[in-house]
């Protein structure tokens, strides 16, 4: 009997290739099955016991026993509970009584602001309007039996005061008006007054003013142009030059 050597102990080539091929096919099949299982809804792939076995082998632990139809799906978030401070003001007498002086003070402030707006920047009327707004903020609110309603009424009070403060600032600007745009809409050449960067018909176009827009005129060139600041309308805040013939002085305007 011939002595055994490494060459004689080696498997035949055909058997080795066969084993390698079978192993490769099995590995590819396992990878394909795992991928298909992971990407496809469980109910459409394999019975539960086979899916559970695969997950146990891989260690992923993703398989869950199907829930009964009456149970809520795990991905549906529960609705948050309503907090006490989310409640609107109560419709009882406490909220009504607390809001009454706020509404009254707001009406007083509105009248004071309107009077100042038409005064052409009267400092005393401006002070009176500001004091009326400050009075809104100082109105006490005490509803000890309902903290949520008290917080809501305080918010309403502050909102009313803030809104009127903005209105007063607008009034301060408008009260400086010395002229108002008028007659431009009837001009066949242009239905608006062009605000330009310089007192020249070819100067850069800055904005378009319409009838009713109020402006503060700083000076008139003597050549048919006025330098001004726009106080109302879409071009509010713009400074430039415009044709003086369409600017009419407002009654009692401060010069």
pLDDT (tens digit per residue) in 91-109: 557 888 889 999 999 999 9
Residue 254 vs residue 223, higher pLDDT: 223
Co-location of 187 and 156 in the same domain: no
pLDDT given at position 3: 54
Write down the pTM of the prediction.
0.51
Listed residues 174, 194, 209: the one ending a domain: 174
Q: Which of 73-82, 178-187, 203-212 has the highest mean pLDDT?
A: 203-212
pLDDT given at position 250: 83
Listed residues 119, 149, 174: the one ending a domain: 174
Provide long-range contacts, Cβ within 8 A and 24+ apart, for 164-169: 164/106, 164/109, 164/110, 164/113, 164/132, 164/133, 164/136, 165/133, 167/110, 167/113, 168/113, 168/116, 168/126, 168/129, 168/130, 168/133
Region 209-217: mean pLDDT is 92
pLDDT (tens digit per residue) in 118-159: 887 889 999 999 999 999 999 999 888 888 888 999 999 999
pLDDT given at position 23: 74
For the chain, the average pLDDT equals 77
How many distinct helices (H) and strands (E) make up the chain?
A: 6, 7
pLDDT given at position 85: 42
Co-location of 197 and 216 in the same domain: yes
In a domain, 244, yes or no: yes
Co-location of 160 and 102 in the same domain: yes
- Residues 217/178, Cβ–Cβ less than 8 Å: yes
Co-location of 199 and 170 in the same domain: no
In a domain, 2, yes or no: no
In a domain, 96, yes or no: yes
CA-wise closest residue to 122 among 165, 78, 176, 71:
176
In a domain, 254, yes or no: no
Count: domains in the chain: 3
Q: Read off the CATH number of the domain in which 237 is found.
A: 2.30.30.40
- Look up the domain containing 192 and give its range: 179-249
Point out the least confidently predicted range of 2-6, 102-106, 239-243: 2-6
- What pLDDT band is residue 76 in, cutting at 50, 70 and 90? very low
Co-location of 51 and 22 in the same domain: yes
User: In this structure, is the dihedral angle defined by the CA atoms of residues 168, 170, 174 and 176, taken in order, positive or negative?
Assistant: positive
Residue 197 three-state SS: coil
In a domain, 34, yes or no: yes
pLDDT given at position 16: 66
- Output the six-digit token pair for 38: 């992971």
């Amino acid at each position: 009997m011939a002595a055994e050597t490494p060459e004689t102990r080696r498997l035949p080539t055909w058997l080795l290739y066969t084993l390698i091929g079978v192993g490769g096919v099995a590995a590819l099949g396992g990878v394909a099955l795992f991928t298909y299982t992971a990407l496809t809804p469980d109910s459409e792939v394999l019975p539960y016991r086979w899916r559970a076995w695969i997950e146990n082998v891989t260690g992923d632990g993703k398989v869950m026993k199907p829930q009964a139809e009456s149970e809520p799906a795990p991905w549906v978030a529960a609705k948050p509970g309503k907090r006490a401070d989310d409640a609107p003001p109560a419709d009882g007498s406490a909220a009504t009584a607390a809001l009454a002086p706020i509404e009254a003070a707001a009406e007083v402030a509105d009248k004071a602001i309107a009077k100042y707006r038409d005064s052409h920047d009267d400092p005393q009327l401006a002070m009176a309007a500001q004091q009326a707004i400050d009075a809104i903020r100082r109105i006490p609110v005490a509803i000890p039996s309902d903290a949520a309603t008290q917080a809501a009424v305080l918010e309403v009070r502050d909102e009313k005061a803030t809104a009127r403060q903005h209105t007063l600032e607008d009034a301060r600007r408008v009260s400086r008006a010395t002229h108002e745009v008028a007659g431009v809409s009837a001009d066949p050449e242009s239905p608006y007054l062009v605000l330009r960067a310089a007192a020249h018909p070819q100067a850069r176009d800055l904005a378009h003013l319409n009838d009713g827009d109020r402006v503060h005129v700083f000076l008139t060139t003597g050549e048919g142009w006025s330098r001004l600041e726009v106080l109302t309308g879409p071009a509010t805040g713009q400074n430039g030059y415009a044709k003086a013939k369409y600017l009419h002085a407002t009654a009692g305007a401060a010069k």
